[in-house]
């Protein structure tokens, strides 16, 4: 289950890339997407890597293998529910025309974590081959405790 709160976009230029990165991040948090290797893989850059809140380093292949087991119940937006993952304080900054940095917090059954993601714009050849226009390049989760 996924509960989202409002997010803000901080950019000097058009925010299309930031909006797409936020949409992609929220899709990757959706349990239905996490259960589908194809749907999740479409959103992950070929060179994707992650340092999870546990401290574990994940490659793209390792994460795609593990995501279905990490999936929860069906997603909901805008209401709290027991067992839900709550996403709060999402902020997006366009670092350049092809790179967006997202920061936000999650709270759920695994505790609270501060998260940071880098989204890269795909090349025209990559999107012609079926890739998402924006894909997650790097993600890090850091345990935030109760405070």
Tokens of 122: 């795909």
DSSP state of 79: S
The domains found in the chain, sorted by start residue, are 2-143 (3.10.450.50)
pLDDT average, residue stretch 35-51: 94
HSE-CB at 112 with a 13 A cutoff on CA atoms is: 8
CB 39 within 8 A of CB 128: no
Give the tens place of pLDDT for each residue, 87-98. Answer: 999 999 999 999
CA 134 vs CA 84, 100, 119, 141: distances in Å: 26, 9, 6, 20
Give the tens place of pLDDT for each residue, 66-88. Answer: 988 874 433 434 444 556 788 99
What's CA 106's distance to the chain center, in Å? 11
Please tell me the pTM assigned to this model: 0.81
């Amino acid at each position: 289950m996924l509960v989202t709160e409002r997010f803000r976009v901080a950019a000097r230029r058009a925010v299309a890339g930031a909006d797409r990165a936020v949409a992609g991040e929220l899709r990757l948090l959706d349990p239905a997407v996490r259960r589908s290797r194809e749907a999740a893989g479409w959103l992950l850059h070929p060179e994707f890597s992650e340092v999870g809140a546990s401290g574990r380093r994940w490659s793209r292949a390792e994460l795609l293998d593990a995501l279905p087991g990490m999936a929860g119940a069906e997603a909901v937006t805008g209401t709290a529910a027991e067992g839900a993952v709550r996403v709060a304080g999402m902020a997006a900054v366009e670092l350049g025309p092809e790179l967006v940095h997202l920061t936000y917090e999650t709270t759920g059954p695994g505790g609270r974590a501060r998260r940071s993601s880098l989204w890269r714009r795909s090349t025209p050849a990559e999107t012609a081959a079926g890739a998402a226009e924006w894909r997650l390049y790097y993600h890090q989760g850091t345990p935030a405790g109760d405070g």
